[in-house]
Amino acid sequence: MTKFVSVKTLAGFNFVRADSVMAVATAEQTKCNIYMAGGVMVSSAETAKDVVARLDAAMNAQPVPEPEAI
């Protein structure tokens, strides 16, 4: 199952797919840029360290079993 991670931006929040992130780069002391597959860049109002920690946790989380059809 695809894991989405919420990222605080200057205008609110974005949700990025953890498996599509190629790199996270520090832009300023409290901001970073998230580079994704396909050439998309997301600017974040969070530190790169915080974003990478959440992305890592999402990628290493145990998969949740799908509910059975009724």
pLDDT tens profile 52-69: 999 999 998 876 676 776
Q: What is the pTM of this model?
A: 0.81
How far apart, in whole angstroms, are the C-alpha atoms of residue 47 and residue 4?
18
Q: Residue 11 falls within a domain, yes or no?
A: yes
Token pair recorded at residue 40: 């998309």
Q: How many domains does the chain have?
A: 1
Question: Which of 13, 55, 65 minimizes the C-alpha distance to 35?
Answer: 55
69 occurs within a structural domain? no
Residue 29 one-letter amino acid: Q
Amino acid at residue number 57 = A
Range of the domain at 55: 4-60
For the stretch 2-60, pLDDT in tens is 789 999 998 999 999 999 999 999 989 999 999 999 999 999 999 999 999 999 999 98
In a domain, 13, yes or no: yes
Q: Is residue 42 part of a domain?
A: yes
